Amino acid sequence: MTQPPPAGPDTLPAADAADATWSSPAVLAHVAPFLLWVVLMVVMDAAFPEAPWAYAVRSGAVAIALVVCRPWRWYPRFDWGHLLPAVGVGFLVLGLWVLPFVGAGDLPRPWWQEAYLRFGVLPWGRVPSLPTTGLHDPALCGWPLALARLLGSALIIAAAEEFFWRGFLYRRWQQDGFLSVGLGRFDSEAFWVCALLFGLEHREVVAGILAGCLYTWLFLRTRDLWAAVLAHAVTNLLLGLYVLGYDAYVFW
């Protein structure tokens, strides 16, 4: 893939004149769906810790929030020339997520795998349990809720996260009027802050940091936020299929 041209005003959609304020439509549209997901996750996990339907409810609520907020209105449509890079990054992140766990149930483990499981996955300092079943095992919750978990992660949550992390926070870290920041503008501080925070959002912290780096790199390289959304969706879809196919419920 060739190097994109320098970022400039001609690459940007029309900016909201008030996008520097936290109450602006642009900020709310990018932040609200993701924030709703986080709040519902905390509240529902505390109130209904063993409820397999909770993920479907959260996904549905975030889907409605995305439709109402329409954060995509500030971005050009997906460029189909970015299909292969997006799918490739999605597969690469899947490998980074899954491969450190392959054979992790066997003892003794290689030193690097033991170290990764202890210090690359939350909670730090102890090896996580590797369950062979989970709340969204179709044998326990039924296929409708299992598929809701799969599709909610791939089609809804991936989009909400990308509009927040790459569309909003990466650019907002550079300046308050984030819509004025070119889609291809690289800023090292914003890059690493977003990667670290994105990693800490996930149980698999090290894989999450690397995923954050790759999704942001793809976004900057293609100047296409939809490419990052697609890559994230590919990762989540394939990870869900891996979970269902190999009973790898440690990832769910």
What pLDDT, on the 0 to 100 scale, is given for residue 55?
98
pLDDT at position 22 is: 84
Tokens 């907020």 sit on residue: 69
Q: How high is the pLDDT of residue 246?
A: 95
Average pLDDT over residues 157-177: 97
For the cut 70, the answer to whether the pLDDT of residue 12 exceeds it is no
Q: Check whether 14 has a pLDDT greater than 60.
A: no
Average pLDDT over the chain, rounded to an integer: 93
- How much is the pLDDT for 16? 52
Condensed to tens digits (0 to 9), the pLDDT of residues 87-134 reads: 999 999 999 999 999 999 998 999 999 999 999 999 999 998 899 899
Residue 10 has pLDDT above 60, yes or no: no
Token representation of residue 150: 């799969």
Average pLDDT, integer, range 59-71: 98
Q: Structure pTM?
A: 0.92
pLDDT attached to residue 20: 75
